[in-house]
Amino acid sequence: MTKQLTTIAMALGLAAIGFGGAQAADPVRIGFSLPITGIFAPAAPSQQKAYELWRDQVNAKGGLDVAGTKRPVEFVSYDDQSDPGQAAKIYEKLIAQDKVDLLLGPWGTPHHFAVAGVLERFKFPMVGDTAASVQLRDLKPGYIWFPTSALPDEQGKQLPLLLKSLNVKTVAITTAQHPFALENKKFIVEGLKANGIDIVSNADYPLDIRDMTALISSMKQANPDAELSLSMTGDSVLYTRQSMELGFKPRVQFVLVGPAATFFTGIFGDKANGLLTMGHWSPSQKKWPKAKAFFDAYVAKYKEPPDYLDSALSFEACEITEQAVAKAGLDHEKLRQVISTDTFDTIDGPVKFNGVVNATTPTMFLQYQNGVFEIVWPKSEATASVITK
Amino acid sequence: MTAQDARATGFGAAVRQAIITAGGPLKALPWDINGTDRTRHAARTAAVVSVAALLATSLPFLANDYFVGFGFSLLVWIALTESWIVISGMTGYISLGHVVFVGIGAYVAASAWHTLPIGIILPLAGLAAAALASLVGYPCLRVRGPYFVILTFGLSELIKYIVINIESALAVSGRVLFGAPGIDTLYLIVLGLAWASVMIALTVRESRFGSGLRAIRENEEAAETIGIPIAKFKAAAFVLSSIIPGMVGALLIMRTTYFAPLEAFNPQTSVLIVTMAVIGGSDRPLGPILGVVFLVVLQELLWANLPQLYMIIVGILLIFIVVWMPGGIYGRLQQIIATVRR
Amino acid sequence: MSTQLLIAALVAGSVYALIALGLNLIYGTMRLLNVAHGEVVMIGAYVAYWALSLLSVGPLVSALAAMPLAAALGAIIYFGLFRKAMQSSEFMERIEGNSLLVFFGVSIILQNATSLLFTPNQRGYRYQDEIVHVIGAVVPVNKLIVLAIAAAVCIAAVLFFRLSTLGLAIKALIQQREAAALVGIPLTRIELTSLCLGFAIAGLAGVLVSMTEEISPFMGFPLTVTAFVVVILGGLGNVLGSLIGGLLLGVLETFGVALTAPSYRSIMIYSVFIAVLLLRPQGLLGAQRART
């Protein structure tokens, strides 16, 4: 409460001085919400850590370059309790009440959709991060952008090509009943058919599944060249663990979401070697000098590797925002134009948006190889070649 | 049926007692002794609530979007808890699955989006919730006590997984609602729904129907003996308590513009409804409003810095109120007022 | 292939039975609906995790610490919250609903305190995960250990309620509360014992769960839901019924899925659950105890 009163008092004081005379030391206040409590709470840390690493790095450099003036960065963040409605409310508060200068994304696709309308209404530009759905493409372009290139329609085209290059003739698919997994399934099945790859087993399962013995046993009988586990997080651990236990070892194993998260390789260690997963960032990519630097700084600060999807995307969103602000300052309209048209140099290489989505970064796939995820597809981006069993 | 009516019909003392105590644990209060006073009090409450609602319509014109958004979620919870007490507060059948109506309303709204106008989607969402409630109401309400609590929870999970299966069979993965109305419009609609939910709770409570429901809560066998059609009454209350949550579900999905069954049928919503009603005091229509305001404001004060601590405090408060303050905030307030008057 | 499914059903079922056993014991003796039961399991799991990662103490040893710790939590809850409340007739009139809310409060406190203390991250450790062959099936050793311990405790529980004085006293209290008091069974002590016993078993279950699954502060809720499903299948307050209920759920989860399709898994489980509640609320095992 006192903090709020101070904020109001500060705002009033600022108004009295007049905005023209903003001091160099005035912090740039950046707002966001994350699920600190509730069902998605385990997902929040990898994003929060990326945001905080960026903030600390910027402040260590003397502050955020706002069109020539360096100002320290300060975060204003709230807990959305894993509820998208709450996220919408928080972004309204951040804009209308806290009057933050900039915004960063919440966690997850539903939350980004909930926030998109708020941004549109206030004409407040924000670079999103941890969302992925083909439906993002349908969002009205203008005030939100997504650096991800792991969109299901593209993955549906690329994954079958990767499989074909490995001489895969038959696949089994298991899909979690979750929007993102189902979207991927739809496009991947189309892609497999177009490439003449046989689907020998295809089953969906609910996210609260606790035992996959029956599911994996039936796949084992089908004996496919490749298994595509279109899973989210908890179930991807269950799938990986039980397929190891049951001795289900197809030549190629792809797990959609999960392997790239920090805890996953923490649990499986070397046993995760050879797993393929979605993702389009790796510290091994020499083409992107910032990639390794980010990885090292993250490991130094947090004593654990970043999440190859969430942490990387979140940091990327910060970098894009930083570079846009350096050029355009904090004016929303100018920022919007710069973000929509410029090319940004990020840990994930150059990024340029077309509408709301990333137009430069190709869709890639990663493989866990001795402690690091290497980019193995497409060939033009590969940092290592695919290993198969 | 008022207490006097019951006395006049000359049934047994136990039944009479059941109906009198059905007036709530606060029978020491002056207006509870006399039926007409109570009705007058209810009318006064209704008038105050209506004036407050009328004044609240001006919020979008006075305050910024943050306050309107804040008001929206406050009113959403009021509408949900007030609807919930029509079945659970009045009959004592605790529903731990009310999110199912919210989810169904949201599902209907998301499916009908782009094909139907909002003016039709909203009542349709309420209707779908009512249809579900009438379908499951009769069999479920034969089950009592803890079994009913667990049953309603299980039922809402079952419907959630059915919707998930339908959506994946249709190869629909999340539905985006483009062009949903802004927060001002949504606020005004939910204000209407919250007002209506309070009016329904007040009216039911004062009606013959409401006395019947409370008689069921006190002693179901006795209530049946005096000729209350208990099965019909319970089912009617269940259906009545489902309509507004269905419409609220439709509004919530317009607010977040994205429908996914896991979020729309989140059991946390059901639990929060019960928590808010109990903290406020679930015996009286005004109780839940106090509970909602209390929790939402507390959250507003704490969430900035101490999100986990907010949840821990909610836990402590809940325990404290159930163990040491059985009437909730409202009951406590009334006790204090009564002491002062005496 | 069916031995494989059978072993999976037994492993899952015995753990479910163990979790449900404690829940049912607490409901049976005190009519308390412990929706924080999954959080007690979670605490047991964290004890095992920290014991292994900080002290290099294996889960079989740390179980000996997890059980008294969970029991102590039960005692604190009993003396701090329920002893006084259960003397008030207002509280007792709606004890199921009231205890559900109190335990819900306990559950959000435990979840968020754990999240605050240990971060919300998922964690896991590897323990005895080499594979062995058992009559045509492949199983990791840790699952066999889980099965052995859970089955041993379940059998011990059966014997305890058949043979020991305390067990018989608890059973008497469950079946005929008033009569039990009349014949001089000390209610308070038995209630306290049952609550602590129920919590201790949940703590043990947590240690077992952590051997084969990853843990997080939020792992408890699904386990509570599972335990309630088991308890309803076997009969609320019917302690032995929860053993059968646990196995039944294990069978549904493996053979049921194998016979239909994985996508129907949750629909199938909740349908059976609801059907039992509507048609046989006393549980599948018949009327050991009348409906409340």
Closest residue in B to C266 (Cα) is B161
Residues from chain A that touch C8, judged by Cβ atoms under 8 A, are: 211, 213-214
Alpha carbon separation from C145 to A319, B341, C11 (Å, rounded): 50, 67, 9
Higher-confidence residue: A365 or B330?
A: A365
Choose the weakest-confidence range: A22-26, B205-209, C170-174: A22-26
Cα(B174)–Cα(A342) distance, integer angstroms: 31
Residues of B within 8 A of C100 (CB-CB) are 94, 96, 146, 149
Q: Is the pLDDT of residue B127 over 90?
A: yes
Q: How does strand A73-79 pair with strand A28-34?
A: parallel
Residue A83 · residue A38 · CB < 8 Å: yes
Nearest alpha carbon to residue B100 among B162, B42, B182, B48: B162
Interface test with A, best of B66, B190, B253 (most A CBs within 10 A): B66
**Cβ contact (<8 Å) for A1 and B301?**
yes
Task: State how far the Cα of C143 lies from the Cα of C14, in Å rounded to an integer.
Answer: 11
Q: What is the pLDDT of residue B305?
A: 67
- Residue type at B113 in one-letter notation: W
Nearest Cα to Cα of residue C78 among C109, C123, C118, C32: C32
Chain B nearest C-alpha distance from A110 (Å): 6
Per-residue confidence (pLDDT) for residue A272, from 0 to 100:
92
Please answer yes or no on whether A209 and C4 come within 8 Å at the CB atom.
Answer: no
State which amino acid sits at residue A321.
T
Is the pLDDT at B110 greater than 90? The verdict is yes
CA distance A90 to chain B (A): 8
ipTM of the shown complex: 0.91
A41·C120 Cβ contact <8 A = yes
Each residue of A75-124: pLDDT tens digit?
Answer: 999 999 888 989 999 999 999 999 999 999 999 999 999 999 899 889 99
Task: Say if CB C88 and CB B323 are below 8 A apart.
Answer: no
Q: Is residue B302 pLDDT above 80, yes or no?
A: no
**Residue B28 reports pLDDT greater than 80:** no
Residues 6+ apart with CB under 8 A from A250: A172, A223, A224, A225, A226, A227, A389
How many angstroms separate the CA of residue A23 from the nearest CA in chain C?
Answer: 37
Q: What is the mean pLDDT of residues C155-182?
A: 87
Dump pLDDT digits (tens) for A228-250. 999 988 899 999 999 999 999 99
- Chosen for mutation from C31, C76, C90, C108 (greatest number of chain B CBs closer than 10 Å) is C108
Placement of tokens 């311990």 in the chain:
C149
Question: pLDDT grade, residue B10 (50/70/90)?
Answer: very low
**Contacts of residue B171 in chain A, CB cutoff 8 Å?**
182, 186
Choosing among A210, A223, A249, A302, which should be mutated to test the C contact, i.e. which has the most C CBs within 10 A? A210
CB neighbourhood size of C128 (10 A): 16
User: If you average pLDDT over residues B123-138, what whole number do you get?
Assistant: 96
CA distances from B165 to A175, A232, B156, B172 (A): 12, 17, 14, 10
Please name the residue of chain A whose CA is at the shortest distance from the CA of residue C15: A210
Predicted confidence band at B195 (pLDDT cuts at 50, 70, 90)? very high
| Residue from the list C96, C106, C274 with its beta carbon closest to the beta carbon of B158 | C274
- Virtual torsion, Cα B107, B108, B109, B115, nearest 10 deg: 130
Q: Which residue of A has its CA nearest to C130?
A: A245
Question: Is B309 in CB contact (< 8 Å) with chain C?
Answer: yes
> Which among B94, B312, B319 has the least Cβ separation from residue C113?
B312
Residue C195 to residues C22, C182, C191, C202: CA-CA distances in angstroms? 8, 21, 6, 11
pLDDT at C284: 80
User: CA-nearest residue of chain C to B316?
Assistant: C105
Is C274 an interface residue toward B (CB < 8 Å)? yes
φ, ψ for residue A166, nearest 5 deg: -95, 10
Measured distance CA(C138)–CA(C11) in Å, rounded: 13
pTM of the prediction? 0.89
**Which of B66, B67, B180 comes nearest A117 by C-beta?**
B180
Residue B207 burial by CB count (10 A; 0-12/13-18/19+): exposed, middle or buried?
middle
CB count within 10 Å of CB B189 equals 20
Q: Can you tell me the distance from the alpha carbon of C247 to that of C268, in angstroms, rounded to the nearest whole number?
A: 15
Distance of CA B85 to the CA centre of its chain: 5
The answer to whether residue C79 neighbours chain B at the CB level (below 8 Å) is no
- Please give the pLDDT value at position C36: 96
Residues in chain C within 8 Å Cβ distance of B147: 232, 236, 277, 281, 291-292
Say if residue B36's pLDDT is above 70.
no
What is the pLDDT, as a whole number, of residue A81?
87
Q: Which amino acid is at C292?
A: T
Q: How confident is the model at residue B118 (pLDDT cuts 50, 70, 90)?
A: very high
User: Which chain C residue shows the shortest CA-CA distance from B321?
Assistant: C102
Mean pLDDT across chain B:
86
Among the residue ranges A148-157, C62-71, C207-216, C236-245, the one predicted with the least confidence is C236-245
Partner residue facing C105 (CB), from B151, B318, B326: B318
Distance from CA of A272 to the nearest CA of C (A): 13
Alpha carbon separation from C275 to A334, B126, C247 (Å, rounded):
61, 27, 18
pLDDT mean over C190-200: 94
Tokens of C132: 């062995």
- Is the previous residue joined to A350 through a cis bond, with omega within 30 degrees of 0? no
Cα C91 to its chain centre, rounded Å, is 25
Distance in angstroms between the alpha carbons of the first and the last residue of chain A: 60
Letter for the amino acid at A221?
A: Q
Structure tokens at A168: 């895969």
Residue where the block lists tokens 């979690």: A176
pLDDT band at C91 (very low <50, low <70, confident <90, very high): confident
Check pLDDT > 80 for residue B304: no
> Would you say A129 and A106 are in contact if contact means Cβ atoms under 8 Å apart?
no
Q: What's the farthest any 2 CA atoms get from each other in chain C?
A: 58
Pairwise CB contact (< 8 Å): B182 & A121: yes
> Dihedral sign, CA of C25, C29, C35, C40?
negative
**Nearest CB to C12; choose among A174, A205, A210:** A210
For chain A (length 389 residues), average pLDDT per consecutive 10?
47 44 73 90 92 97 94 94 90 93 95 92 95 89 93 96 96 94 95 96 92 92 95 90 92 94 88 94 94 97 95 97 96 96 96 94 95 93 90
The residue-averaged pLDDT of B188-194 equals: 97
For residue A71, report the phi and psi dihedrals to the nearest 5 degrees.
-135, 140
DSSP secondary structure, C41-98, as one string:
HHHHHHHHHHHHHHH---HHHHHHHHHHHHHHHHHHHIIIIIHHHTT-HHHHHTHHHH
CB atoms A213 and C8 under 8 Å? yes
Query: Long-range CB contacts (< 8 A, 24+ apart) of C163-171?
Result: C166/C190, C166/C193, C170/C25, C170/C28, C170/C29, C170/C194, C171/C239
Joined together, the tokens standing for residue A50 give 């990326």
Distance (Å) from the alpha carbon of C1 to chain A's nearest alpha carbon:
7
Give the separation between CA B306 and CA B299, rounded to whole angstroms: 9
Mean pLDDT value of segment B37-54: 85
Measured CA to CA, the distance from residue C87 to residue A173 in angstroms comes to 58
Q: What single string gives the DSSP state of each residue in B180-199?
A: ---HHHHHHHHHHHHHHHHH
C-beta atoms surrounding B2 within 10 Å: 19
Mean pLDDT of C55-59: 94
- B271–chain C Cβ distance below 8 A for any pair: yes
Rounded-to-integer distance, Cα B292 and Cα B277, Å: 7
Residues A153, A186 contacting (CB under 8 angstroms): no
| Angstroms from B321 CA to nearest CA on chain C | 9
Q: What is the pLDDT of residue B35?
A: 57
pLDDT digits (tens, 9 = 90+) for C1-40: 588 999 999 999 999 999 999 999 999 888 899 999 999 9
Q: Which of A1, A85, A138 minimises the CB distance to B255? A: A85
Among the partner residues A36, A96, A138, nearest to B308 by beta-carbon distance = A36
Confidence of residue B29 (pLDDT cuts 50, 70, 90): very low
Environment class of B192 (CB within 10 Å of its CB; exposed 0-12, middle 13-18, buried 19+) = middle
Which residues in chain B have Cβ-Cβ distances shorter than 8 Å to A2?
none
What does the alpha-carbon distance between residue A292 and residue B261 come to, in Å, rounded to a whole number?
A: 39
Q: Which residue spans within chain B are E strands per DSSP?
A: 175-176, 258-259
Residues of A in contact with C262 (CB under 8 A): 174, 203-206, 209, 212, 214-215
What lies within 8 Å, CB to CB, of C278 at 6+ separation is B139, B140, B142, B143, B151
Angle at the Cα of C214 from the Cα atoms of C212 and C220, rounded to 5 degrees:
105
The confidence score (pLDDT) of residue B41 equals 80
Backbone angles phi, psi at A204, to 5 degrees: -105, 155
Residue C48: predicted pLDDT: 97
* Pick from B92, B309, B323: CB nearest C102: B323
Cβ neighbours, 10 Å, residue A3: 10
Per-residue pLDDT at C93? 77
Residue from B100, B152, B322, B325 whose CB has the most chain C CBs within 10 Å, to mutate:
B322
Q: Which chains reach chain C with 3 or more Cβ–Cβ distances below 8 angstroms?
A: A, B
Contacts of C91 in chain B (CB under 8 A): 322-323, 326
C-alpha closest to that of A359 among A174, A137, A172, A175:
A137
Q: Which helix or strand (DSSP H or E) is residue B144 part of?
A: none
SS3 per residue for A115-147: HHHHHHHHCCCEECCECCCHHHHHCCCCCEEEC
pLDDT, residue B27, reads 36
Compute the count of residue pairs across chains B and C with CB atoms less than 8 Å apart: 124
Q: For the segment B210-259, what is each residue's pLDDT rounded down to a tens digit?
A: 999 999 998 899 999 999 999 999 999 999 999 999 999 999 999 999 99
Write out the DSSP string of C219-241.
Answer: -HHHHHHHHHHHHHHH-TT-HHH
Residue of C15, C108, C265 to mutate when probing chain A, most A C-beta within 10 A: C265
With beta carbons under 8 A apart, name residues in chain C contacting A45.
Answer: 119-121
Nearest chain A CA: its distance from C141 CA (Å): 10
Across the A/B interface, how many CB contacts are shorter than 8 Å? 115
Residue type, A144: I
Query: How far, in Å, CA of B295 to CA of A340, rounded?
Result: 41
